[in-house]
């Protein structure tokens, strides 16, 4: 394997999951726990054909590659420099035959890779509309956090075009957008089937929600037990620790 270049303004970070490593900018957009939560929530089956929309540096395809065998994963990223970083992370982890990174607009990606033939689509879309808050002056962060280049509806519409009959769409978003999310999913023939609310601490209100929908499925929503992230400041709950192969109650991830 040719040597993978790590540039001076980048870091090489251990994901603590089956030896995976990822290249990120030292300053700028870096993946968050949200992507890790989504990667472990999505239903992944052997032989799945998967598309991750807005893949950033490829964190979700990297983690999904450990969840089942014989997967074919495509990460779609609009920003060229992010897609290039993701490609180097794929090469670094020797996953070229499993993960493909494509630079492109998720709104049109079905025209390039084909529609109606994928069994799973994932997305950790921007959480904020342009009218909410002040977008970051850094373009990479602004595009990742605010609906500048694509809206929530764009993301859901793209997933619907890519999925086959009964294909699954898993996403993470703000819990206060839940009504909007469900309305949009149903508009595009994606029926919510699994939901899990995410709480920072026991006794605190949910801040985010994990949802999985199925294409052209009958209504039957299963609400899973809440996901509590922290035992105490800086200390993850046992469920989170298990993803990293750590013993319950010991250390952080």
Strand runs (DSSP E) across the chain, as ranges?
A: 10-14, 21-25, 49-53, 72-77, 99-103, 118-123, 163-174, 190-199, 208-215, 222-223, 227-228, 230-232, 235-236
Say if CB 212 and CB 42 are below 8 A apart.
Answer: yes
pLDDT tens per residue, range 7-31: 999 999 999 999 999 999 999 889 9
Domains and their CATH numbers in the chain: 10-243 (3.40.50.150)
pLDDT confidence band for 167 (50 / 70 / 90): very high
Question: What does the CA dihedral 43, 44, 46, 49 come to, rounded to 10 degrees?
Answer: 120
What is the rounded average pLDDT of the residues 88-95?
98
pLDDT exceeding 90 applies to what percent of the chain?
83
Position 146 pLDDT exceeds 60? no
Burial of 86 (0-12, 13-18, 19+ CB in 10 A): buried
Say if CB 39 and CB 20 are below 8 A apart.
Answer: no
pLDDT tens per residue, range 155-164: 999 999 999 9
Scanning 105-209, the segments in alpha helix (DSSP H) are 109-113, 139-145, 152-162, 178-187
Higher-scoring residue by pLDDT: 135, 110: 110
pLDDT tens per residue, range 27-75: 988 999 999 999 999 999 999 999 999 999 999 999 999 999 999 999 9
What is the rounded average pLDDT of the residues 133-152?
56
pLDDT, residue 127, reads: 81
What average pLDDT does the chain have? 90
């Amino acid at each position: 394997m040719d040597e993978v270049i790590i540039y001076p303004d980048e870091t090489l970070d251990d994901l603590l999951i089956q030896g995976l490593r990822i290249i990120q900018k030292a300053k700028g957009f870096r993946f968050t726990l949200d992507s890790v939560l989504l990667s472990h929530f999505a239903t992944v089956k052997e032989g799945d054909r998967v598309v991750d929309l807005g893949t950033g540096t490829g964190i979700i395809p990297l983690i999904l590659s450990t969840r089942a065998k014989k997967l074919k994963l495509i990460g779609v990223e609009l920003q060229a420099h992010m897609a290039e970083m993701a490609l180097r992370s794929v090469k670094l982890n020797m996953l070229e035959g499993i993960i493909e990174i494509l630079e492109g607009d998720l709104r049109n990606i079905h025209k390039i890779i084909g529609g109606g033939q994928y069994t799973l689509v994932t997305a950790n879309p921007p959480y904020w509309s342009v009218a909410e808050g002040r977008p970051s002056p850094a373009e990479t962060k602004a595009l990742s956090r605010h609906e500048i280049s694509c809206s929530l509806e764009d993301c859901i519409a793209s997933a619907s075009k890519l999925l086959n009959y009964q294909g699954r769409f898993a996403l993470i978003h703000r819990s206060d957008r839940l009504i909007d999310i469900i309305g949009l999913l149903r508009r595009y023939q994606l029926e919510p089937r699994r939901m899990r609310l995410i709480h920072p601490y026991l006794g605190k209100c949910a801040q985010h929600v994990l949802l999985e929908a199925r294409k052209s499925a009958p209504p039957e929503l299963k609400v899973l037990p809440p996901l509590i992230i922290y035992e105490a400041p800086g200390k993850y709950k046992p469920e989170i620790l298990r993803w990293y192969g750590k013993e319950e109650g010991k250390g952080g991830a």
